Every structure is written in C-alpha cells, then in structure tokens.
Amino acid sequence: MFVMIAQPQWVFSGAMWAETATNYYPNSVSGSPWSALFATDAGYSPVFLRILALLPVAFGTSATAIPYVYTAIALLGAAVLVGSFCLPWFRLIIASDATRLVVVALILFVADFSTRTFINISYFAVVPIAACAVSAALADRPVPWWMFLLPILALTKPTVLAAIPLVVLALLFAGRRFRVIGVIIIAAAFAQVAQLAVSSLSGYALGPSTDWTTVDKAITAAKAGAALPGSLVLGPGHLTSFVVAAMCGILVAGGVVALLILTRRPGTVLAVAGLVLIVGNAAISAFGLSFWWNRGTVDSVISDVPISRQTIVAYIGAVFVVAGVVSALLDSVRDRLEAGSTWYRVLAVLGAPIVLVWFVTSGWYARGIELLPAPAWPTTGNSAWESHADQIDRGEPVCFPVDPVGWGYTRGCHLGDGSAYSPAVFSETPVSEIEFTLPAASAARLAALTVYAAPAGGTTGSVTASADIQSARAGSTILTATSDLPADGGSLTFTTSPAARAALGASEGLVSVHVTFGVPVRIAYLTGEPTQPAMMVWVMGD
C-alpha cells in the first residue's frame, strides 16, 4: 500500500523492468523446465525468482497482465520477506512486537526503487535467513514448516550469501532440529558459489570486467568492512573521512562484542548478525562488483552510503545492529527492576521509539524521503510492453524498449546499427518534426524504431507520430506510433508490418527518416550531439 501511494505512476503503468523482460519472462514461457527453473542471470542461479516468475504462467496469465502481476509479486514478496521478522517466532530475539515492526518499516522505507522491483526483491531474503539463524542459535525449539523454505532463498542474489556465515555459526549452537535445514542452506550456498565460478570461467560475470587485481579487491573489502559499520550507524554523509569512519566502525563493532560478552542478551546476537551482514556485503561487492566497488569509489560509498541493491544488505545489517543494541540495553536495565513496576512497563515499550529517534536523527529518514518518488526518464517511461502484448501472446517477432533506457524485449529481432541512446538529454526547445538518417543495412531489415520525446507542456499526454522512411530505391514507407508519454519523457516506438518490411528491403545507402509529431515535443538528443536523436534501431533476425 505504501509503494502504491508513493509511486502510483510506476505501480499502475504496466511497465516491465530490465531482466523481467529479457530473462525471467522469456524463460518462464520457454517450455523448458530446466530453463524455467535453472537458467542463470548474470552468472548466478536465481531459483527463488524463477519460481515466482512461473506462478503467473501456471495460471495462464496473458502478456498484457504480466507486468502488473510481476509488480504485485514484488510488492507482496518484499513485504513477506522483511515482514517475517514480525512473526511471534522471533520474540526470542526482540520481545517487543512494536520494535520488530519498526525494524521492518525502517528497512522497507529506505529501500530504493530498483530494489523494490521484481528482479531485486530477493535481496530482502537476508532478513528471514539471518533472523532464523540467530533464533536457532539462541534456543533449540520445534522448527516451523516455513523454515524449510529457507534453502530456496539461498539460491538467489549472490549478496544474500552474506547471511550464510550466520547459518554456519548457528550450527555450532543450534539444536538438531535446525541443523538439517542449516546444512541444506549451506549446500545451496555452495551450489551458488560453484555456479558463479563456472559462469566466470565461461565469461559471464556479475558486472563488467575490470583491471582491479585481487589485492585491490581485498583492500576495498577491508576498507569498506571496517568503515561501513560506523557510516551506516551514524548515518549518511556524516563521516567524510575514511580514517574517522574506520575508527567509528571499529568502535561500533567493539561495542557490540563487549555488550555481547557483558550482557549475553539475545539482542546482542542480532547486533552481531548485523555486523556480519555489513562486512559480508562489503566483501561480496568488492570481489564480485568491482566495476562499482573499487579503490577509486569506496571512499564515496563509505561517506555517503548510497542506498541501492549493492548496499541494501549492509543497511539491513545496520538496522539489526541498532535494534539489537537498544533491545539488549533495555532488557539489561529491566532485569534490575521489580517486575510489574512502572519503569519496568515503560522500558518494555521504549525500544520502538528509541530506534525511530535514531532513524530520524541519523539522516536515514531524510534519505528515505529522497528515494520515495519513482525516478523519471531515463529510468522509467520507456516500456512499450502493453502496446505489444498481443504480439507477444501470438508468438510474432517483436522488439520494443522496456525500462530503463537501453533494455528491450526481443523475439526474432535485435538491436542493429544506428542504435545510440545513452547518455542523452531532452532539448529545451519543442519541435513538431525531426529528421535523421539510418544505415541502409538496418533500414532494409527494420523491425522497429524507437525515439524518445517529452510533451512540451510539461504534463503527461498522448502523443501520436508518423515516420516517413525514404530511400532512393525503396521509395517512401510510412510508420505510425502512439504513446502516453510521461511529463518527464518516454519512448515512441514505430513498428514495421510485413508489408512495410518488404518495401524497406530494397533500401540502399543512407536512408532518411522524417518524423512528424501530432503535438510539439522535446526530443532526447545524445549528450554533446545536439542534432543526433537518441534512438534504438531494431532489425529482423536472431
């Protein structure tokens, strides 16, 4: 409900996001059980997400409804994964239901846009895995049925592996009831690591390749692991010096360990688990995502702590640290008071407001407010899924863009010569027509052509356009497109019919394209090239 109110333009847009269109949906309808469950994504095996992607297919959901179903699964999935910490089972860790509810709210409130999408909600799997490991280490109790689902959660985003050391530690203290599940979770984690290794040897990786050495990555991991506990707990933007951040991080970690030794309260175990998540996130990102996390960028990550799917696990760890420490301190004081006394009852409910005060004063509330609106173009506003859903259901060749810019759904066609879409910026001057050229090789096999425009009035509106494609030999071919463009801009995609493709097949040399818009629009041009519109050119052929 919260996201529906905060981001209605995204939730109800029917847009598809990145790999949902290029990987998860195509594999779910491929007809191959192996691909549907075990196809990799960026080198890892996302079995948990594959199962979620199969659910709408099992119920015969049409392509038109798929984006809405994926968005609903993402919203509900995130709420279930994080909200599981509110289950009575976890009162052993933090007795106050209100405090655990606040922990859940703080995690979901700060999550950024991309982390809330279908393909990224599995980052939240660290919450039930870590919480179950802590709970199992504290007491040997009957295992609820839902705990047997945890091994599936381990087969998802590699950063979730940051919680696996907690499972290993839990096996040292847990009773036999949890050990079977723990062993299966660890086996699933090893399978994921093996898959990543095989993919790496085959040329697939989590991110673009870099020249950073293993030593560079180890230094990055050590710096981030030492400094992030301090930066996260004190809040974004407060610690601009690595030395100061590292000192604060060591103090936070040392304080948690000291509190664990002195009080032996369940909350301190949760705080230790939070530290493990922070350090694990730092290590996995440094070694697996060195394109973003490296010696050149780690200082800015430490000082500003930008929230994204690359840092959300560490942020969850920080919330665990604060909530665990607050709970442990309050429990220690309560034990010195007479049961039933006024202060005894007051301290029992004081945990939630204290954690909320930390959230506001540290700056995380302000950061969450910044992340609240859905991002504009080029992140959103590009998906043409709904207008091509019927072609998808009919099994026809079809190509069109999805969110964000640069991503697209392709079947029987692909990006061709002439495509250039990033970086780009919208012009300030509205126009009613533009003209550009296409390579003949692309025009002769043209499947679709996408340009980017924003309504001149600064409000969302329906825009109709026609594209006159001309060549000396093929003559003139007219294509049309209509799109409800967001105020910040979006995509217009001209799709060719079989007759149009037959006519364009005779194209030779440079082909001119004259686009006329029904209303004035601002055009997205490549940065530094004010006469070259940003575009995606789709050509026939796999």
Q: Per residue in 321-348, pLDDT tens?
A: 999 999 999 998 888 877 778 777 888 8
Q: Per residue in 179-205, pLDDT tens?
A: 999 999 999 999 999 999 888 887 766
DSSP structural state of residue 228? H
Residues in a beta bridge with 450: 493, 536
pLDDT of residue 511: 87
Reply yes or no on whether the pLDDT at 12 is more than 90. Answer: no
pLDDT of residue 510: 78
CB 494 within 8 A of CB 518: no
Higher pLDDT, 11 or 400: 400
For residue 18, what are its two tokens? 């990145």
pLDDT of residue 345: 83
Quote the radius of gyration of the chain (alpha carbons, Å): 26
When the pLDDT of each residue in the chain is averaged and rounded to a whole number, the result is 92
For residue 70, what are its two tokens? 């994926």
Q: Per residue in 66-84, pLDDT tens?
A: 999 999 999 999 999 999 9
Q: What is the mean pLDDT of residues 222-239?
A: 94
Q: What is the mean pLDDT of residues 514-537?
A: 94
- Specify the residue for token string 């705080």: 271
Please measure the distance between the N-terminal and C-terminal CA atoms of the chain and give it in whole angstroms: 41
Residue 419's contacts (CB-CB under 8 Å, 6 or more residues apart) are: 535, 536, 537
- Specify the residue for token string 């879409």: 421
pLDDT of residue 209: 66
Q: Within a 10 A sphere around the Cβ of 165, how many other Cβ atoms?
A: 18
pLDDT of residue 281: 97
CB 153 within 8 A of CB 119: no
- Could you give the CA distance from residue 454 to residue 427 in angstroms, rounded to a whole number? 9
- Could you give the CA distance from residue 140 to residue 177 in angstroms, rounded to a whole number? 7
> Quick one: pLDDT band at residue 102, thresholds 50, 70, 90?
very high
pLDDT of residue 482: 94
117, with CB counted inside 10 A (0-12, 13-18, 19+), is buried
CB 411 within 8 A of CB 432: no
Query: Per-residue DSSP letters for 257-291?
Result: HHHHHHH--HHHHHHHHHHHHHHHHHHHHHHH-TT
The answer as to CATH 2.60.120 being correct for domain 385-540 is yes
Residue ranges, CATH 2.60.120, the chain? 385-540
Q: Per residue in 204-219, pLDDT tens?
A: 666 666 778 999 999 9
Q: What is the mean pLDDT of residues 490-512?
A: 87
- Could you give the CA distance from residue 42 to residue 158 in angstroms, rounded to a whole number? 10
Please, what's the largest Cα pairwise distance for the chain?
95
The b-or-e profile of 194-214 (16+ CB within 10 A means b, else e) is ebbeebeeeeebbeeeeebee
pLDDT of residue 240: 83
> Quick one: pLDDT band at residue 284, thresholds 50, 70, 90?
very high
Strands 446-455 and 511-526 come out as antiparallel
Q: Is the dihedral of CA 137, 140, 143, 144 positive or negative?
A: negative
- Could you give the CA distance from residue 449 to residue 463 in angstroms, rounded to a whole number? 16
Higher pLDDT, 385 or 506: 385
pLDDT of residue 188: 95
CB 467 within 8 A of CB 457: no
CB 308 within 8 A of CB 112: yes
pLDDT of residue 1: 62
Percent of the chain at pLDDT exceeding 70: 98
- Could you give the CA distance from residue 252 to residue 319 in angstroms, rounded to a whole number? 13
pLDDT of residue 369: 95
Q: Per residue in 131-181, pLDDT tens?
A: 999 999 998 888 889 999 999 999 999 999 999 999 999 999 888 889 999
Residue 82's contacts (CB-CB under 8 Å, 6 or more residues apart) are: 104, 107, 108, 124, 127
- Could you give the CA distance from residue 51 to residue 122 in angstroms, rounded to a whole number? 12
Reply yes or no on whether the pLDDT at 38 is more than 80. Answer: yes
Percent of the chain at pLDDT exceeding 90: 73
pLDDT of residue 205: 66
pLDDT of residue 222: 95
Reply yes or no on whether the pLDDT at 9 is more than 90. Answer: no
- Could you give the CA distance from residue 346 to residue 349 in angstroms, rounded to a whole number? 6
Q: Per residue in 468-495, pLDDT tens?
A: 999 877 788 899 999 999 999 999 999 9
- Could you give the CA distance from residue 214 to residue 12 in angstroms, rounded to a whole number? 44
Residue 16's contacts (CB-CB under 8 Å, 6 or more residues apart) are: 25, 66, 67, 70, 383, 385, 402, 403, 409
pLDDT of residue 206: 67
Reply yes or no on whether the pLDDT at 388 is more than 80. Answer: yes
pLDDT of residue 101: 98
For residue 38, what are its two tokens? 């075990």
Q: What is the mean pLDDT of residues 408-421?
A: 92
Backbone angles phi, psi at 430, to 5 degrees: -70, 145
Q: How many CA atoms lie within 13 A of 68 on its CB side?
A: 11
